[in-house]
Amino acid sequence: MRYASPSRKAHASSWGEIKRWRTALLAGLALSWAAVSAAALNVLVIVADDQGWGDLALHGNRALQTPHLDRLAREGASFERFYVQPVCAPTRAEFLTGRYHPSVGVSGVSEGRERLDPSATTIADHFHEAGYATAAFGKWHNGTQVPYHPLCRGFDEFYGFTSGHWGHYFDFWLDRNGRLTKGEGFLPDDLTDHALAHLESHRDRPQFVYLAYNTPHSPMQVPERWWRARDTRPDPQPGSEAGREDRLHTRAALAMVENLDWNVGRLMDGLARLGLEEETIVVYFSDNGPNGHRWNGGMRGVKGSTDEGGVRSPLFVRWPGKIEAGRVVQEPAAAIDLAPTLAGLTGRAFGKSPALDGLDLSAQLLEAAPPRLAKRTLFTHWRGQIAAREGRYVLDDKRRLYDLEKDPGQHHDLSSTETDVSRRLSESVAAWRRRVGLDTSTPSRPFTVGHPSLPTTQLPARDAVASGSVKRSNRYPNCTFFSGWGADDDRVVWGVEVLAAGEYEATVFAVAGERAVGSRLELSCDRASVQATIREPSDTAEIGPTHDRVPRKEGIVYDFRPISLGKIELKAGRQDLALRVHDVADGPGPAVWLLTLTRATPD
């Protein structure tokens, strides 16, 4: 149920305009469908979250078993040096667009900085326009509200979460096509179930399926089967900074990777069962380096670092009968290359203007003697760190130069001897900063409410600002809640832009203990307000830590329940939505996790 993207129109487009746009698009799909029907190719892209290059048996890790991922590499092509960004949202934006993340508005991982510019064309847009059934399952992390939601970025179907991390991996709240629903069981297994169901139900047409797993990202939760399997595995090899390794965390991460491997096996078996194996391109990579100082092939750095360990990822591409089994691509490649390469493999060029940063590497995958790539520089960036890679060399964020062929662990600085290379890469970094706009201010982007594409707008606590005694549950904003209400002036505020004036049904997802009964929740905007009294207590037992294998750094979560506030009249334009809690007895008051606004007066 893909909704029309507002990136091509003003935010205030009417529902009638969108329906006319969709009618025109569908009229043209018969022609584009014919273009892909001969090949009838499917594309399945699988992304792990925080899996390091070294978290695979085929890369030399003796402490885990990954038979299905190893098989994926053996039966297809693997990239020797494939680079992503140091953290989640930037990598995902680059995969989706073929452009460096600062160029498409992604500057962080939370509080709106993770949002992908609406003007950027995604690979899902590309496949949808070619007649593919498109679906995204799992972690999105490039925006929650319209026009950033996956249903507005080329996907017909979405099931997962739009935040940077999720607070609980068992039977917790998820977004299904813009509405909240409860997941079923362990989240990676649930996501795999949905991907398999989509592959089967749409087997009569080409498909683009983006399966973005949430593990081994924390919280470190994994079913007992995989946790106990660690008892039969050898002790892990020490990481590059063994003194910083948390062995319990490593155990959990490797157990989560083995669960991922099992789910990849389910997908491969499912493709074979459906008769889709030979007509499906399967891609597998991770979004950044490992989320801990575990063994990673001797490379320096972990997630968050622009060093090799933080940005080098596995990349496997399988297409039986087309891509030679066991092929190894030696040229350096990056997440920016994935969109143009997938488009090239399926016979339809991706991207018009502005120019893509990535290259179509389909020849490197398909041809017996592919042409050599022209020399180019690849950039990785996070929080002021920039590293530049050209051929065998990397210039790190401290302007130290390393030869990665001889020194992949980055031990021997060559900047004083290879001065020409060092100077050239330094100049490239400066030029890249200017080109992608790193030193220019980012325009303010409010959180949008009321676009007709999605009837319900989700405003998580992540996107709000608290004042007074109200406190956020954790310093990492994703999947947090607010509590600690005291004075009547305590509030949390969402800076929004209401795109369509009218009545909205307001609902707060929260938990409230016995002492919060009788408190009044009030939502106000300008002179309009709506409020409701908490009549009954809810279960305040923590549900996150009960499944944690390692004490979490992120905040706890509860079984948040919807509390209807009633209808509020909102004017169009930029404004502040403020939530207050009145008549709070002793205690922190309710824990507020999410506000939803559902349009009661649609066009």
Domain boundary (339, 366, 393) is at 366
Backbone angles phi, psi at 376, to 5 degrees: -145, 165
| Residues in CB range of 493: below 8 A, 6 or more apart | 464, 465, 466, 467, 576, 577, 578, 579
- What number of other Cβ atoms are within 10 A of residue 36's Cβ? 18
Q: Are residues 574 and 518 in the same domain?
A: yes
Cα separation, 416 vs 397, in Å, equals 16
Per-residue model confidence (pLDDT) at position 428 = 98
Asked if the structure places residue 330 within a domain, the reply is yes
Cα separation, 40 vs 57, in Å, equals 33
Q: Are residues 481 and 553 in the same domain?
A: yes
Domain boundary (335, 366, 397) is at 366
Cα→Cα distances 551→219, 255, 555, Å: 8, 16, 10
Q: Are residues 487 and 396 in the same domain?
A: no
Q: Are residues 344 and 391 in the same domain?
A: no
Secondary structure (DSSP) of 400-432: -EEETTT-TT--S--TTT-HHHHHHHHHHHHHH
Query: Residue 321 burial (CB < 10 Å; 0-12/13-18/19+)?
Result: exposed
Asked if the structure places residue 373 within a domain, the reply is no
| Chain Cα centroid distance, residue 204 | 28
Checking DSSP bridges between strand 491-498 and strand 573-582, what pairing results, if any? antiparallel
Per-residue model confidence (pLDDT) at position 355 = 81
238-297 per-position pLDDT tens digit: 998 878 999 999 999 999 999 999 999 999 999 999 999 999 999 999 999 999 999 999
- Which helix (H) or strand (E) element contains residue 508? strand 502-511
Per-residue model confidence (pLDDT) at position 514 = 92
Secondary structure (DSSP) of 190-250: HHHHHHHHHHHHTTTS-EEEEEEEEEESSS----HHHHHHGGGSPPPPP-TTGGG--HHHH
- What number of other Cβ atoms are within 10 A of residue 383's Cβ? 11
Beta bridge pairs of residue 522: 531, 580
Asked if residues 68 and 259 have their Cβ atoms less than 8 Å apart, the reply is no
Per-residue model confidence (pLDDT) at position 3 = 53
Q: Are residues 393 and 461 in the same domain?
A: no
Per-residue model confidence (pLDDT) at position 2 = 56
- Which helix (H) or strand (E) element contains residue 299? none
User: For the chain, what is the domain count?
Assistant: 3
Locus of tokens 């950033």: 148
Asked if residues 217 and 50 have their Cβ atoms less than 8 Å apart, the reply is yes
One-letter amino acid at 421 equals V
Asked if the structure places residue 379 within a domain, the reply is no
| Residues in CB range of 439: below 8 A, 6 or more apart | 433
Q: Are residues 318 and 466 in the same domain?
A: no
| Residues in CB range of 54: below 8 A, 6 or more apart | 60, 61, 290, 294, 295, 296, 297, 299
Cα separation, 69 vs 258, in Å, equals 10
Q: Are residues 306 and 406 in the same domain?
A: no
Domain boundary (366, 395, 425) is at 366
What spatial distance separates the first Cα and last Cα of the chain, rounded to whole Å?
A: 19
Range of the structural domain that residue 589 is part of: 447-599
Asked if the structure places residue 37 within a domain, the reply is yes
Cα→Cα distances 403→3, 328, 378, 602, Å: 48, 20, 15, 60
CATH label of the domain that carries residue 576: 2.60.120.260
Asked if the structure places residue 220 within a domain, the reply is yes
Cα separation, 437 vs 381, in Å, equals 13
Asked if the structure places residue 2 within a domain, the reply is no
CATH label of the domain that carries residue 93: 3.40.720.10
Cα separation, 541 vs 556, in Å, equals 10
Locus of tokens 């832009």: 497
Scanning 8-150, the segments in alpha helix (DSSP H) are 15-37, 67-75, 88-97, 123-129
What would the two tokens of residue 317 be? Answer: 């591409």
Q: Are residues 87 and 132 in the same domain?
A: yes
Per-residue model confidence (pLDDT) at position 1 = 60
449-503 per-position pLDDT tens digit: 998 889 999 999 999 999 999 999 999 999 999 999 988 889 999 999 999 999 9
Locus of tokens 């530049």: 388
Q: Are residues 231 and 290 in the same domain?
A: yes
Give SS3 for 357: coil
- How many residues are present in the chain? 603
* CA-based nearest residue to 156, from 173, 176, 180: 176
Q: Are residues 312 and 400 in the same domain?
A: no
Asked if the structure places residue 431 within a domain, the reply is yes
Is the backbone peptide bond immediately before 460 cis, with ω within 30 degrees of 0? no
Q: Are residues 245 and 196 in the same domain?
A: yes
Where the chain has pLDDT below 70, the residues are: 1-40, 352-354, 602-603
Backbone angles phi, psi at 41, to 5 degrees: -80, 140
Q: Are residues 238 and 353 in the same domain?
A: yes
Give SS3 for 352: coil
Asked if the structure places residue 5 within a domain, the reply is no
Per-residue model confidence (pLDDT) at position 452 = 86
* CA-based nearest residue to 6, from 142, 139, 152, 209: 152
Half-sphere exposure of 486 (CA within 13 A, CB side): 7
